[in-house]
Amino acid sequence: MITHASLKRKQRGLALISIMVMVTLMAILLSGIFYRHQLDIVRAIRVLNGEQAMLLALSTESWALNVFVEDDASVDHLEEDWAREIPVLPIEGGSVTGKIIDLQGRLNLNNFSVFTSPKLWREQSQDISGTNLITVYMRLLEILEIDSDIARAAVIVDWIDTNSELISSDGAEDDEYYRSGKTYLAANSPMIEPAELALFDGYEINDVIALENFVSTLPSNTKVNINTANKQLMMALHRDFDEASADALIALRPYESIESFYSAADGLINSSVSAKDLFNGLVGVKSSYYLMQADVLLGDIRIQLDSYIERKGDGQAAVLFRRMQFVPKLAQVIKPSDVVEIN
């Protein structure tokens, strides 16, 4: 028999259970609200950090432009202000660093646009002992232990010339790419970046990586700045330039005039032809094209900016184009020594 007292106890028990269920549901609901709120805060912080990091990177670009406005454009070398790498600058929650690279300290592959079939044959016939754009490039490939077959130059000419006719039997135009199963044709326009070499007939990705710091793809015909060129490119300028010769020429930098370089080179070349006649049109002591690289770390946001800059004749500088990328957090903790090469 159910008494009044026992019924009250059951009711109190049901009420307690109901309250506990309601409290649990409220706790779950509140924890969800707090979790989403926390996500919103983290998302807002990341967006804010991302925008601030972009502005910091662009401010580094502005610094580079101002440096060139104040720089003496008559001669360029590695002792000038623009060549000094920005040390790691601590900022609240991160750091900023950057540097400027002289792209005319590299061999401009778009210079190959000057070639016609007769000119290519003429420079090729001078063999590796001569000094011209073709032989310098061939020697550079040899120094970097890359296959230096003349086809390496011919396919560049065919890629950037404005027609679809083979520059020589070693070249590659639309038909050659089509027959080899490629899904693209020759661009028939100037190269935008050296990485395009990976698309060319005969070039492998390892070749492109090896050439990365030695070649450029500038929008106009340029000379190699012997004040900023690295040792391997200095060696490639002439067959008589070995490591010791290149070191000796580099030790004499900066050259305030191209004539002072010719004078130094004459003493190292075993030739009846003067250095002025050998290198005329190939080398110079001033530059117009640069690459500014900035690296910004803010919180867990990392941005890398590449700005391609042209210094114009009126003393002003302008950005030709820029490439900005967010570096994934995983990539920030992977070091080159952590990468395992798989054969």
Query: pLDDT tens, 97-141?
Result: 999 999 999 999 999 988 765 555 555 555 444 578 888 999 999
pLDDT digit string, tens, across residues 297-329: 988 889 999 999 999 877 789 999 999 998 876
Per cent of the chain over pLDDT 90 is 46
Query: Which position has the token pair 């700005």?
Result: 307
Kindly state the average pLDDT of the residues 146-164.
89
Q: What is the dihedral of CA 179, 181, 182, 184, to 10 degrees?
A: 60
Q: Is the pLDDT of residue 240 over 80?
A: yes
Q: Beta-carbon neighbour count of residue 262 at 10 Å?
A: 19
Query: What is the model's pLDDT at position 341?
Result: 44
CB under 8 Å to 321, separation ≥6 — which residues?
Answer: 308
pLDDT digit string, tens, across residues 1-50: 556 556 565 556 667 777 777 878 787 777 777 777 676 666 666 667 77
Residues 283, 129: Cα–Cα separation, whole Å:
18
Query: What is the model's pLDDT at position 52?
Result: 85
Q: Which residue has the higher pLDDT, 292 or 280?
A: 292
State pTM to two decimals: 0.80
